[in-house]
């Protein structure tokens, strides 16, 4: 979870809509997962 805080849009929650915020979290998780492999 701490790695997600490195993404500024997630840490500060720029998106007002929950679906946009959730999609940003999913994209960040995919990027973290791809870097781990």
Contact (Cβ atoms closer than 8 angstroms) between residue 5 and residue 11: yes
Tens digit of pLDDT at every position of the chain (37 positions): 677 777 777 777 777 888 888 888 898 899 889 988 7
- Give the DSSP per-residue string, 1-37: -GGGGGSHHHHHT--SSHHHHHHHHHHHHHHHHHHH-
Listed in sequence order, the residues at least 6 apart from 28 whose beta carbon sits closer than 8 Å to its beta carbon are 4, 7, 10
Residue that is written with structure tokens 């809509």 in the block: 17
Total number of domains in the chain: 1
**Residue 6, pLDDT score:** 77
**Residue 5 belongs to what domain range?**
1-36
Q: What is the pTM of this model?
A: 0.69
**Residue 1, pLDDT score:** 65
Nearest to 31 by CA among 21, 14, 18, 6: 6
């Amino acid at each position: 979870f701490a790695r997600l805080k490195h993404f500024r849009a997630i840490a500060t929650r720029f998106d007002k809509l929950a679906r946009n915020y959730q999609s940003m979290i999913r994209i960040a998780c995919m990027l973290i997962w791809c870097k781990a492999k």
